Chains A and B, each alone.
Chain A
Amino acid sequence: MLEFAARFWEFLVRRIDRFLFGIVMALVAVGFVTLFSAADQSVARVSNQLASLAVALVAMWVVANIPPQTLARAAVPLYVLAVVLLVGVALFGVVVNGSRRWLNIGITRIQPSELMKIALPLMLAWYFQRFEGRIGWKDFVFATVLIAIPAILVKRQPDLGTALLLIASGFFVLYLAGLSWKIIVGMVAAVAAAAPVLWNLLHDYQRRRILTFIDPTQDPLGAGYHTTQASIAIGSGGVVGKGWLNGTQTHLDFLPERHTDFIFAVYGEEFGLIGNVLLIFLYLLLVGRGMMIAADASTLFGRLMAGAVTLMLFTYAFVNMGMVSGVLPVVGVPLPFISYGGTALLSLFIGIGILMSVQAHRKLVHS
Chain B
Amino acid sequence: MARRFHGFRSRRADNGFGGHEVRNPEREQFWFRRRLAVAGVVVLAAFGTLVARFVYLQVTQHDHYRTLAESNRIAVVPIPPNRGVITDRNGVVLAQSDSAYTLEIQPSRVKDLDRVIDELAGIVEVTQRDRKRFRKLMEESKNFESLPLRTRLSDEEVARFAVNRYRFPGVEIKARLFRNYPFGEVGSHFLGHIGRINDRDLEKIAEWEATANYKGTDYIGKLGVEFTYERDLHGTTGVEEVEVDAGGRAVRTLSRVPPVAGSNLRLSIDIRLQQAAEAAFGERRGALVAIDPATGEVLAFVSRPGFDPNLFVDGIDPASWKELNESPDRPMLNRPLKGAYPPGSTIKPFLALGALASGRRTAAQSIADPGYFQIPGHSHRFRDDKPGGHGSVDMYKSIVVSCDTYYYVLASETDIDDTHAWMATLGFGQQTGVDLEGESTGVMPSREWKRKRFSGPNYRDDHRKWYLGDSISAGIGQGYTAFTPLQLAHATATVANDGVAFRPHLVKQVENLRTGEVRRIAAESTHALAVSPEHIAVIKSALVGVNKEGTSRRAFEGAKYVAAGKTGTAQVYSLKGEKYDASKIDERLRDHAWFMAYAPADRPRIALAVLVENGGFGAQAAAPIARQVLDYFLVGDQAASPAPLAPGAPDPDDQSD
Contacts and interface: CB of A to CB of B under 8 A. Distances in A.
A235 B62 contact: yes
Contacts of A298: 25
Interface residues of A, number: 64
A202 interface: no
A239 interface: yes
Given A135-B7, A268-B58, A325-B54, A307 B43 contact: no
Interface string A329-355: 000000000000000000000000000
Contacts of A300: 28
Given A220-B76, A232-B69, A98 B209 contact: yes
B39 to A, nearest CB: 6
Given A220-B76, A231-B57, A307-B36, A136 B69 contact: no
B57 A133 contact: no
B61 interface: yes
A179 interface: yes
B200 to A, nearest CB: 14
A22 interface: no
B65 A236 contact: yes
A179 B55 CA distance: 36
Interface in B15-54: 21, 23, 25, 28-29, 31-33, 35-36, 39-40, 43-44, 46-47, 49-51, 53-54
A238 B58 contact: yes
A276 B54 contact: yes
Nearest to A321: B50
A326 B56 CA distance: 11
B330 interface: no
Interface stretch (A10-18, A55-63, A69-77, A247-255): A247-255
Most chain A beta-carbon contacts within 10 A, residue among B36, B62, B209, B211: B36
Contact of B6 (A98, A176, A180, A222): A180
Contacts of B206: 95-98
Contacts of B2: 135-137
Contacts of B11: 178
B1 A95 contact: no
A288 B247 CA distance: 45
Nearest to A44: B143
Main secondary structure of the interface of B (DSSP, over half): helix
B9 interface: yes
A102 B311 CA distance: 38
Given A178-B35, A235-B57, A280-B51, A221 B239 contact: yes
Contacts, number: 165
Nearest to B209: A98
B46 A314 contact: yes
A175 B62 contact: no
A145 interface: no
Interface string B366-400: 00000000000000000000000000000000000
B303 to A, nearest CB: 34
A287 to B, nearest CB: 5
Contacts of A137: 1-2, 4-5
Contact of A177 (B7, B57, B211): B7
Contacts of B39: 175-176, 291, 307, 311
B125 interface: no
Nearest to A141: B5
A303 interface: yes
Contact of A235 (B28, B49, B65, B246): B65
B8 interface: yes
Nearest to A135: B7
A295 B9 contact: no
A40 B11 CA distance: 57
Given A175-B39, A273-B54, A235 B61 contact: yes
A303 to B, nearest CB: 5
Interface in B498-514: none
B554 interface: no
Contacts of A181: 6
Given A95-B207, A237-B58, A295 B76 contact: no
Given A238-B58, A254-B73, A318-B47, A326 B32 contact: no
Contacts of B36: 176, 291, 294-295, 307
A322 B206 CA distance: 28
Closest 3 CB pairs of A and B: A235-B65, A236-B69, A135-B7
Interface of B: 1-2, 4-9, 11, 21, 23, 25, 28-29, 31-33, 35-36, 39-40, 43-44, 46-47, 49-51, 53-55, 57-59, 61-62, 64-66, 68-70, 73, 75-76, 144, 206-207, 209, 211-212, 239, 241, 246, 248
Given A135-B8, A180-B4, 12 more contacts: A40-B144, A134-B9, A178-B11, A235-B69, A248-B246, A276-B58, A277-B54, A291-B36, A298-B25, A303-B32, A307-B36, A318-B50
28 contacts: A98-B206, A133-B8, A134-B9, A136-B1, A175-B35, A175-B39, A178-B6, A178-B31, A178-B32, A179-B5, A220-B76, A222-B212, A232-B69, A234-B57, A234-B58, A235-B57, A236-B66, A239-B58, A239-B62, A276-B50, A280-B50, A295-B32, A303-B32, A307-B39, A314-B46, A322-B46, A325-B54, A326-B53
